[in-house]
Structure 1
Amino acid sequence: MKASMAEWAYGVAAKELAEPLPRRWAHSHGVAQRAQGLAAAVGGDAELPVSAAALHDVGYAPRLAITGFHPLDGARFLRDTHAADERLVRLVANHSLALLEAEERGLRDVLETEFPLLEDQVLVDALVFCDMTTAPDGGVTPVEARLAEIAARYGADSLVGRFIRRAEPHILTAVGRVEATLAAQPR
């Protein structure tokens, strides 16, 4: 029996992250668990955000870190090694406002050319929400605490610190849209 996309994604992410980067795997696993709770918000595409959530940080795996920009490295790995679903690859490449970080790294044109942003704002927002409300240990955290943790971990003046400052209003807007959608769902 063929594995579902989500089962396959969990397997790939665990293989690449669990041993070399257990904390990163805990975060990715937590992000995927958050995505499972968004089925009503994303409609018929519930498996896609769960899969993207499990794989969003796969590019941090030491053997995959070619450019040092994990969204690009992860997306290339999924495309080139696994011939993964194009929408999945594009979500991984562009998760959590990656275009802004790519710009800081001088890689925006590369990322945009190879992996154009999906036009499905619901899926893009869902992945932002899941990533930015999950702590490094995989637990649930408020978006403001997650943003502060990222800035503190990397340093306010670092490349990632500059990126997260630029991305913050967009992240807060995306998280707000998902929270509004979830609040409007029948209980």
Structure 2
Amino acid sequence: MDEEMVGWPRRVAAAELGDALPRRWAHSRGVAARAAEIGLIVGKDADLLVSAAILHDVGYAPRLATTGFHPLDGARFLRDEHGADEWLTSLVANHSFALLEAEERGLREELAREFPLLNDPLLVDALVCCDMTTTPDGDRTTVRERVAEIVDRYGADSVVGRFIRRAAPEIFSSVERIEAALANQPR
């Protein structure tokens, strides 16, 4: 792992989430740990996956929450304040099928225009898997338990509840593809 490549994202995420949102910070650390575990399946993009994992929820930081839609707020912050490259900002902006939530919020066109989805399905699936198999406290869970937890936490009729129920089949498929890729790795 390239410490410089993943060091600055870890420092930025810690600064923005550590004190303000300790549970969100625990989740982000857990997602990054999962990314480090499965990084071998994305090859040369392993460090990018870990960086995106640690930063994926940075847009929840109170000082960054301008639209209230954390993928967009986080990606804009990384682009505008840190000059992050388009791969990292796109992964943060589009993590875990954020386009579907953006649609619920009336922000789909804005998100898609500013941060087009990467043409790298394996990398996108890997980040979905890391996020959706990590609890809010940073522990491992199953994807089905994670989706149920999100619906319970936000409420089925909330914006997030509606989004996650719509996205669930795609989320499950992403995690299944990554689990299959991991199972096919030589031991």
Length-normalised TM-score, structure 1: 0.98
Q: Distance in 2 between matches of 1:3 and 1:48?
A: 11
SS in 2 for 1:139: coil
1:90 is the counterpart of 2:90? yes
Give the counterpart letter for 1:14 in structure 2. A
Give the counterpart letter for 1:67 in structure 2. T
Give the counterpart letter for 1:33 in structure 2. A
User: Which residue number corresponds to residue 70 of structure 2?
Assistant: 70
Query: How much has 1:86 moved relative to structure 2?
Result: 1.1
**Matched positions, count:** 186
Give the counterpart letter for 1:141 in structure 2. T
Q: Distance in 1 between matches of 2:151 and 2:99?
A: 18
User: Which residue number corresponds to residue 79 of structure 1?
Assistant: 79
Pairwise CA RMSD of aligned residues? Answer: 0.9
1:39 is the counterpart of 2:36? no
Q: Distance in 2 between matches of 1:85 and 1:4?
A: 15
1:174 is the counterpart of 2:177? no
User: Which residue number corresponds to residue 117 of structure 1?
Assistant: 117
Q: Which runs of 5+ in 1 are unaligned?
A: none
Structure 2 counterparts to residues 2-13 of structure 1, below 5 A: 4-13=4-13
Give runs of ≥4 in structure 1 deviating > 2 Å.
Answer: none
Q: Distance in 1 between matches of 2:176 and 2:98?
A: 19
Query: How much has 1:38 moved relative to structure 2?
Result: 1.2
User: Which residue number corresponds to residue 164 of structure 1?
Assistant: 164
Query: How much has 1:3 moved relative to structure 2?
Result: 5.5
Query: How much has 1:44 moved relative to structure 2?
Result: 1.2
Q: From the superposition, tell whether residues 113 and 148 of structure 1 become closer, same or farther in structure 2 (CA, over 3 Å).
A: same
Q: Which runs of 5+ in 2 are unaligned?
A: none
Q: Distance in 1 between matches of 2:134 and 2:63?
A: 25
Query: How much has 1:5 moved relative to structure 2?
Result: 1.7
Q: Distance in 1 between matches of 2:89 and 2:6?
A: 13
SS in 2 for 1:96: coil
Query: How much has 1:117 moved relative to structure 2?
Result: 0.2
1:59 is the counterpart of 2:59? yes
Query: How much has 1:24 moved relative to structure 2?
Result: 0.1
Q: Distance in 2 between matches of 1:151 and 1:184?
A: 32
| Greater CA drift, 22-31 or 33-42 | 33-42
User: Which residue number corresponds to residue 106 of structure 2?
Assistant: 106
Give the counterpart letter for 2:6 in structure 1. A
Tell whether the 8 Å contact from 2:39 to 2:50 is kept in structure 1 after alignment.
Answer: no
1:184 is the counterpart of 2:184? yes
Query: How much has 1:39 moved relative to structure 2?
Result: 2.2
